[in-house]
């Protein structure tokens, strides 16, 4: 498992350990109530029972999120024959309130995918506010990605570099955003609202269906990326962002040298 999966597993074990400890102490407090007749023990035992239930619920939620993320990565890897899949550093996700973030690179551009955990019982109003915040974070992430590419261009040495005959102009790479909703079904009105904001919305099982723009470059693209180009761009972004390469193998991406300065990400 990856580093994030190990963190999720440790979280589940930590919550289960907390629940077990609280249950044991609660039982001892109830026995002390019977033995001593002190009401304070009964109150403490009741509070510890509440803590036990809360910790068990948190453990179950962490387990569900972990399983959903594993399934998401399995589906991304299954659709990666024409894509590079990068797992963004945890700091990216925590700063934006995501469960985990991914960067997908293919012939049609780049896509930032944010896995967002939300309970099925979440009210429509609360869900809408969380989705709007996630969409704003996605747009900011695409802008930051664009800044990374522009920074690579500025740092590149001013010397002629060998280019392909049809690569006289830098390729304008479209940038997309996708929210992958965990633990809650996507409602049609929510999908439409996110589409208005310029962000896709899907459940885990439907993620392969929304990757079309990356696999089939849009007609308005100035110059679609060739396989060597998007692999080199993915390798350069993985190196610059310190991202984990999930697929294809890092060795298959090719050299990253000079990849950023030949592309401009268009949000």
Do 165 and 112 fall into the same domain? yes
Do 149 and 218 fall into the same domain? yes
* Pairing relationship of beta strands 109-117 and 171-182 according to DSSP bridges: parallel
* Residue 244 structural domain: 79-266
* pLDDT reported for residue 166: 43
Is 162 a domain residue? yes
* pLDDT reported for residue 115: 94
Is 149 a domain residue? yes
Do 54 and 143 fall into the same domain? no
Compute the CA torsion angle 55, 61, 62, 64 (nearest 10 deg): 150
The tens digit of pLDDT for each residue in 129-181 reads: 999 999 988 888 888 887 766 665 445 444 333 334 344 444 566 788 999 99
Domain boundary among 35, 66, 97: 66
pLDDT in tens, the chain (267 residues): 444 555 556 776 776 677 777 777 777 777 777 788 777 877 877 887 788 777 777 777 888 888 889 999 988 888 767 889 999 998 888 888 898 999 999 888 889 999 999 988 889 899 999 999 999 888 888 888 877 666 654 454 443 333 343 444 445 667 889 999 998 999 999 999 999 988 999 999 999 888 887 877 666 555 678 888 888 889 999 988 899 998 876 556 666 544 554 454 554
């Amino acid at each position: 498992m990856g580093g994030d999966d190990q963190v999720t597993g440790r979280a589940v074990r930590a919550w289960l350990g907390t629940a077990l400890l609280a249950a044991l102490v609660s039982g001892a407090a109830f026995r002390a109530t019977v033995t001593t007749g002190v009401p304070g023990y009964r109150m403490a035992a009741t509070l510890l029972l509440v803590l036990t239930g809360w910790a068990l619920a948190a453990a179950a939620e962490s387990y569900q999120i972990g399983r959903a993320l594993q399934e998401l990565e399995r589906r991304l890897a299954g659709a990666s024959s024409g894509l590079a899949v990068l797992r963004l550093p945890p700091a990216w996700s925590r700063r934006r309130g995501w469960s985990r973030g991914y960067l997908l690179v293919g012939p049609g551009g780049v896509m930032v995918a944010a896995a967002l955990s939300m309970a099925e019982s979440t009210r429509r109003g609360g869900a809408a506010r969380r989705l709007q915040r996630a969409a704003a974070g996605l747009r900011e992430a695409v802008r930051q990605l664009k800044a990374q590419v522009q920074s690579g261009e500025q740092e590149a040495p001013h010397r002629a570099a060998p280019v392909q005959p049809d690569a006289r102009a830098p390729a304008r790479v479209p940038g997309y955003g996708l929210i992958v909703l965990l633990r809650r079904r996507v409602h049609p009105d929510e999908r439409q609202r996110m589409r208005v904001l310029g962000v896709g919305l899907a459940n885990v099982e439907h993620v392969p269906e929304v990757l079309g723009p990356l696999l089939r470059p849009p007609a308005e693209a100035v110059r679609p990326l060739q396989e060597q180009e998007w692999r080199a761009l993915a390798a350069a972004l993985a190196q610059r962002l310190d991202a984990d390469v999930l697929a294809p193998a890092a060795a298959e991406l090719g050299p990253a040298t000079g990849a950023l300065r030949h592309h401009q990400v268009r949000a």
